[in-house]
Amino acid sequence: MGLNILVAHGGGPTPVINSSLQGVAEAARESGKVDKIYAARFGAEGILKGDLIDLTDVPAATIARLSHTPASAIGSCRRKLTDADYPTVIETLKKFKIDCFFYNGGNDSMDTCNKVNELAKKEGLDLRVIGIPKTIDNDLDITDHCPGFGSAARFSAIGASELALEASGLPIHVVVMEVMGRNAGWLTAASALADRITNCEVLTYLPEQLVDTDQMMADIEREYAKGKGLLVTISEGCCGLDGKPLADSGIVDGFGHVIPGGTAQHISDMIIQQLNIKSRAEKPGLMGRNDMSRISNPDREEAYAVGKFALESAIRGESGYMVAIDAHRGETYSFDLFLAPLERVANVEKKFPLEWIVEGNKIDDKFFEYANPLMGGNFPQYAILR
């Protein structure tokens, strides 16, 4: 008799979250050691309700389309499991005779994953628990980077390039672009590649540094005065010198995190009011984690490989780990996978290195040496004749 496996998604999607699911499912089929492939419908909610999707007989062609599908194909949620929930989780795992449990998520989810693993051990269950990392924010520790980051960063870099060209081709206003990432500035930093790609002026603000808005307005006024157009990219989570978000939606998510809102619009309004310069804010927002046309190929391949590695590790009997990536940035890019203890990644947030932020609004080349291979390289070459 083979193994029964369960995959669940936690938190927001990435453009490649379903590639990892495909990796798990296809490796499970290839292994010949898996009986039932289950997915939790809407993540923790499905586990608590005992509402699982049976993927065992889903056609191979449908599984193969997963890596071309945005958002979570099996559904996700933001419910943070409490101590009171864990017995119900164990009940579902028992009811469906689950041998291997894969939880795909960020640092909150790795905490959940860790707790399920420990509780299962305490209950004497022969359950193998493996965490599959994903987050566009790239804020997980130990792993060189997270699946999902490369694609969202590519969206950020190329999207910002196109907006920089708009701003310089029709220089009638300052364009302010808001980038996702509440506390970690990795994605916003990627937008600064726009100045390398387009040779346009770009000012970039990360949440790791408090923003002195007086200085920011002075910098914007000076750069805009050059008449070449100006793009400002800013993290949704940027705070002012008082340590409070520049803009605040007033909404708190299921994990208790305050959701910032309208940061770009806020800065755009300041530009209009304080500098008397036209400005407009763009907020691609959730598009940044769902745009399948800007997928980074290495990111998609890694996400798939991470899912496959998780399945293979569990079959070997490993438990209590998250799959992590070791990257080799030589002449060509390559990577290895390894297992990192869950307790070392749970609830830890990896911030953008402060030494890669130059004068408050520029990003050092060192970041791009790190990030460009993850974004898939091959950035567009434009014909600018003006």
How far apart are alpha carbons 297 and 234 in whole angstroms? 26
By CB under 8 A, residue 225 contacts a copy of itself: no
Q: Reduced to 3 states, what is the DSSP secondary structure of residue 333?
A: strand
Contact 90, 281 (CB under 8 A): no
Smallest distance from the beta carbon of 332 to a copy of itself, in angstroms? 24
By CB under 8 A, residue 265 contacts a copy of itself: yes
How far apart are alpha carbons 367 and 363 in whole angstroms? 7
Question: Of the two residues 115 and 283, which places its CB atom closer to a copy of itself in the complex?
Answer: 283
Contact 68, 36 (CB under 8 A): no
Q: Which stretch binds a copy of itself (CB under 8 A): 64-72, 91-99, 101-109, 216-224?
A: 64-72
By CB under 8 A, residue 382 contacts a copy of itself: yes
Long-range pairs for 307-310 at CB < 8 Å and ≥24 separation? 307/19, 307/20, 307/21, 307/22, 307/23, 307/24, 307/25, 307/27, 307/102, 307/104, 307/132, 308/23, 308/24, 308/26, 308/27, 309/23, 309/337, 310/20, 310/23, 310/24, 310/102, 310/130, 310/131, 310/132
Binding mask 142-181 for a copy of itself (x = CB under 8 A): ----------------xx--xx-xx-xxxxx--x------
Q: Reduced to 3 states, what is the DSSP secondary structure of residue 247?
A: coil
User: What is the bridge-based pairing of β-strands 174-179 and 52-54?
Assistant: unpaired
By CB under 8 A, residue 74 contacts a copy of itself: yes
Instruction: Verify whether residue 326 is a known catalytic residue.
Output: no
Residue 151: CA count within 13 A, CB half-sphere: 32
Smallest distance from the beta carbon of 99 to a copy of itself, in angstroms? 21
Of 99, 108, 111, 137, which residue is the catalytic one?
137
By CB under 8 A, residue 220 contacts a copy of itself: no
By CB under 8 A, residue 55 contacts a copy of itself: yes
Binding mask 292-331 for a copy of itself (x = CB under 8 A): xxx-------------------------------------
Question: Of the two residues 143 and 279, which places its CB atom closer to a copy of itself in the complex?
Answer: 279
How far apart are alpha carbons 349 and 9 in whole angstroms? 19
First to last CA, the chain: 69
By CB under 8 A, residue 92 contacts a copy of itself: no
Smallest distance from the beta carbon of 165 to a copy of itself, in angstroms? 4
Q: Among all residues, which ones are annotated catalytic?
A: 137
Name the site residues for a copy of itself (rule: CB under 8 A): 12-13, 18, 39, 41-42, 53, 55, 58, 62-63, 65-66, 68-78, 158-159, 162-163, 165-166, 168-172, 175, 249-251, 253-254, 259, 261-262, 265, 272, 278, 280-287, 289-294, 380-386
